Amino acid sequence: MIAGRFGTKGQIYFDIDLVGDDGLILPAEVMLDTVFTEFLAINSQDADSLDWHFLRQNKLITAQGEAFFDIYLGRVKIDDQEYEIPVFAGEAIQEILLGSRWLKQSILVANYQQAQVTLG
């Protein structure tokens, strides 16, 4: 289980590790985005710098309309557990997004009154 924190506007943030193809571990702050239905979204430049394996291009419907994303096979570490997941990369992504697909295998507990949030 990992502890997160609330942003000033109620956003939920977690700290995870991005694992490069060469084993390099990069700590990253990610924002939970329950509208994004995949595992992780990242800026294309960041995905390229991690040297992740390109899988394919995929079209998704976003709030701004249809957009194409590059899909990479990426690795992340969450609470000392490593996962190999499809990662959606796009030029317009400004923050790393943790998608709602994690909620199919983890339980999110958010208590705004006590300023506590966990995912596990």
pLDDT higher than threshold 80 for residue 62: no
pLDDT digits (tens, 9 = 90+) for 78-103: 999 999 999 999 988 899 999 999 99
Q: Does the structure show a pLDDT above 80 at 65?
A: no
Local confidence band at 61 (pLDDT 50, 70, 90 cut-offs): confident
Tell me how far apart the alpha carbons of residues 117 and 50 are, in angstroms, rounded to a whole number: 28
- At residue 81, the 3 state secondary structure works out as strand
Give which of 73, 82, 70 is closest to 17, Cα–Cα. 82
pLDDT exceeds 90 at position 66:
no
Decide if 40 contacts 84 (C-beta within 8 A): no
Angstrom distance (rounded) from CA 70 to CA 12: 25
**pLDDT over threshold 80, residue 40:** yes
Domains of the chain, earliest start first: 2-119 (2.40.70.10)
List the single range of 4-13, 24-33, 59-68 with lowest mean pLDDT.
Answer: 59-68
Calpha distance 64→18 (Å, rounded): 27
* pLDDT band at residue 63 under the 50/70/90 scheme: low
pLDDT confidence of residue 112: 92
Measured in whole angstroms, the distance separating CA 68 from the mean position of its chain's CA atoms is 17
Write down the H helix ranges in the chain.
44-49
The tokens describing 101, both together, are 């697909």
